Structure 1
Amino acid sequence: MLRLTKNVNGLNQQRTVKSMKNYSRLFLLHLIALFGVSIPSLAIDTNSSLKLQKGNFKILLSKNEMEPVKLAAKTLCKDFEKVMHYKPEIFQNTDDTQQIDIVIINEAVDNPLFQSRFIRPLDGFESHRVYCSPEEKRIYLHGKDMRGAIYAIYTFSELFLGVPPLWYFCSWEPQYKKQVEIKSSFDYFKKSPQVRYRAWFPNDTDLFKPWRRLSKENDELWLETMLRLKLNTVELEATVTYPDYKLNSQAALLRKYGLVLTSHHHVACNNNLMNWAGYWRKVRGVEPPELLLSNEKALIEFWQYSIETVCRNKQENLWQIAFRGVNDQPFWAAFSDAPKDDKERADIINRMIRIQLAMIKKATGEEDPFVRMTFYDELSDLLAKGYLQPPTGKNMLWTFVAGRRDHYPYDDLVSFDTTKQVKLGYYMNLQFTSTGAHLAPAEGPWKMEANYRYVNTRGPLTFSVVNAGNLREFVMEMSANARMMWDMQAYNTDSFLIDFCSQYFGQKYAEEVAKLYHDYYYAYWQQKPSEFPGMERQFIFQDLRYSRVFDQIGKRFSDFSPNPLYDIGFERVPGRSFRIDGNNQVDSLIAGMKKTAVRFEEVSQRCENLLKRLPKQDQRFFRDNLAAPCHYMAALSHSLYHFVSAYKEKESSKRAENLDIAIRRLEEARDALYDTQEGVFSTWYAGDSADGKFNIPAKLKLLRELRNKI
Structure 2
Amino acid sequence: MLFDTQIRPAVIHDKDIPLTHAAELLGRDLEGLTGTAPKLSGDLKACGTVCIVITTLDSPLSKRLVKQGTIDLSALSGQWERYGRAVITTPDQTIVLISGSDTRGAVWGVMDLTRELGVSPWEWWADVTPRRVDRLTLKSGSILSDAPTVKYRGIFLNDEDWGLQPWAAKTFETNTKDIGPKTYAKIFELMWRLKANTIWPAMHDSTKPFYQIKGNPEMARDYAIVVGTSHAEPMMRNNVREWDKAKNGDFNFFTNPERMISYWRERVQEVKGFENIYSVGVRGVHDSAMEGAETPEQARDAVAEVIGIQRDLLARAQKKPAIQIPQALTLYKEVLDVYKAGLNVPDDITLVWPDDNYGYIHQLSTPDEAKRSGGAGVYYHISYWGRPHDYLWLGTTHPALIREQMQRAHVTGAHDIWIVNVGDIKPAEYLTQYFLDLAFDAKAFDATPRDHLMAWSAQQFGADQAAEITDILTDYYDLAWERRPEFMGWSQTEPTTPTRQSDYIGSDGSEAQARIGAYAALTARSEAVAAKLPEDRQPAFFELALYPVRSAANLNARILKLDLAAFYARQSRATVANSLSAEARAAHDGIVADAETYNTQLGGKWRHMMDMAPRRLPVFNAPAFPVYAAANPTTDKPLPKPVAPVAITYNTEVAKVVTIPAAFTTSPDWQIVPGLGSLGQSLRARLDLKPQGFTTATPATYRFDTRTDGTATLKIIALPVHALTSQSGVKVAVSIDDQPPVILDFETVGRSDEWKQNVLSNNAVRELTGLKLKPGRHTLKLYALDPGVIIDRFEVRFDGARARYGAVK
Please name the residue that 1:143 is paired with: 100
Q: Secondary structure at the match of 1:426?
A: strand
Work out which of the residue numbers 313, 318, 330 in structure 1 matches 2:277.
318
Aligned to 2:553: 634
Q: Which of 289, 303, 318 is the equivalent residue of 1:330?
A: 289
Distance 1:221 1:255, change over 3 A: same
Q: Secondary structure at the match of 1:129?
A: strand
Are 1:81 and 2:21 matched, yes or no?
no
**Runs of at least 4 residues of structure 1 off by over 6 A?**
241-247, 646-658, 695-698
The code of the aligned residue for 1:427 comes to: Y
SS, match of residue 608 in structure 2: helix
Aligned partner of 2:265 among 292, 297, 304: 304
> TM-score w.r.t. structure 1 length?
0.75
| Aligned amino acid, residue 517 of structure 1 | L
Superposed, which structure 2 residues align to 1:44-123 within 5 Å? 51-54=3-6, 56-62=8-14, 65-95=15-45, 99-107=49-57, 109-111=59-61, 114=64, 116-117=66-67, 118=69, 119-121=71-73, 122-123=75-76
Aligned 1:608-619 pairs, distance under 5 A: 608-619=527-538
> Cα offset for 1:680?
4.5
Identify which of 442, 449, 468 aligns with 2:396. 442
Q: Distance in 2 between matches of 1:486 and 1:303?
A: 32
Tell me the residue number matched to 1:288.
248
**Corresponding residue number in structure 2 for 1:559:** none
Residue identity over aligned pairs, in percent, reads: 18
Map 1:244-263; keep pairs closer than 5 Å.
248-263=214-229
Kept in 1: contact 2:591–2:612 (CA 8 A): no
The corresponding residue for 1:568 is: 494
Distance 1:501 1:215 in 2: 28
* Residue equivalent to 2:351: 398
Which residue identity lines up with residue 141 of structure 2 in the other structure? F
SS of residue matched to 1:102: strand
- Contact 1:59-1:90 within 8 A present in 2 as well: yes
Q: Does 1:129 align with 2:84?
A: yes
- In structure 1, C-alpha distance between the alignment counterparts of 2:532 and 2:211, rounded to whole Å: 57
Could you report, residue by residue, the CA deviation over 1:536-578 in whole angstroms, capped at 9, with x for unpaired residues?
Answer: xxxxx323334x65xxxxxxxxxxxxxxx55524x9xxxxx99
- State the 1:666 CA deviation: 1.7
Residue type matched to 2:589 in 1? E
Structure-2 separation of matches of 1:211 and 1:276: 23
Show the 5 A alignment for 1:583-622.
586=501, 588=503, 590-591=505-506, 594-622=513-541
1:269 maps to 235
* Matched AA of 1:95: K
Deviation at 1:619, TM superposition (A): 3.6
Partner of 1:486: 440
Q: Which structure 1 segments of 5+ residues have no match?
A: 1-48, 282-286, 333-337, 527-540, 550-564, 572-576
Q: What do you get for the CA RMSD once the two structures are aligned?
A: 3.7
Question: Residues of 2 paired with 1:606 and 1:242: CA distance?
Answer: 43
TM superposition shift of 1:447: 1.1
**Pair 1:221-2:186 in alignment:** yes
Partners of 1:596 and 1:634 within 8 A in 2: no
**d(CA) in 2 for partners of 1:248, 1:594:** 54
Residue correspondence of structure 1 range 176-215 to structure 2 within 5 A? 176-182=132-138, 185-205=140-160, 206-213=162-169, 214-215=171-172
Counterpart Cα distance in 2 of 1:268 and 1:457: 29
Find the residue that maps to 2:544 and give its secondary structure. helix
- Unaligned 5+ segments in structure 2 are 174-181, 629-809
Residue 263 of structure 1 deviates from its aligned partner by 0.3
CA contact (8 A) 1:211 1:683 kept: no
In structure 2, C-alpha distance between the alignment counterparts of 1:196 and 1:597, rounded to whole Å: 44
Q: How many angstroms apart in 2 are the aligned matches of 1:439 and 1:681? A: 23
Paired residue for 1:33? none
Match of 1:253, as an amino acid?
A: M
Residue of structure 1 in register with 2:663 after alignment: none
Q: Secondary structure at the match of 2:121?
A: coil
Please tell me whether the aligned partners of residues 439 and 694 of structure 1 are also in contact (alpha carbons under 8 angstroms). no
Question: Which structure's relative contact order is higher, taking Cα pairs within 8 Å and 6+ residues apart?
Answer: 1
Query: Aligned letter for 1:543?
Result: P
Alignment CA distance shift 1:58-1:322 (3 Å): same
Greater alpha carbon shift after TM alignment, 481-490 vs 691-700: 691-700
Matched, 1:513 2:472: no
CA contact (8 A) 1:126 1:146 kept: yes
CA contact (8 A) 1:397 1:425 kept: yes
- The structure-2 alpha-carbon separation of the partners of 1:272 and 1:228, relative to structure 1 and needing over 3 Å to count, comes to closer
AA of the residue aligned to 2:257 = E
CA positional deviation for 1:679: 4.4
User: Match for 1:360: what amino acid?
Assistant: L
Which residue of the partner structure matches residue 625 of structure 1?
A: 544
Q: Please state whether the residue corresponding to 1:317 is helix, strand or coil.
A: coil
- Equivalent residues of 1:266, 1:322 under 8 A apart: no
Cα pair distance change 1:91/1:621, threshold 3 Å: closer
Q: Distance in 1 between matches of 2:98 and 2:550?
A: 43
Amino acid paired to 2:114: S
3-state SS of 2:376 partner: strand
Moved more, 100-109 or 650-659: 650-659
**Offset of residue 423 of structure 1:** 1.2
Residue 476 (structure 1) aligns with: 430
Measure the CA separation in 2 of the matches of 1:672 and 1:245: 36
- Which residue does 2:587 correspond to in 1? 665
Please tell me whether the aligned partners of residues 688 and 695 of structure 1 are also in contact (alpha carbons under 8 angstroms): no
For residue 200 of structure 1, what is the amino acid of its counterpart?
A: I
Is the contact made by 2:87 and 2:141 (CA closer than 8 Å) also made in structure 1? yes
Q: Who is 2:717 aligned against?
A: none
Aligned to 2:413: 459
Q: Partner of 1:543 in structure 2?
A: 485
Question: AA paired with 1:310?
Answer: V
Contact 2:383 2:392 survives alignment (8 Å) = yes
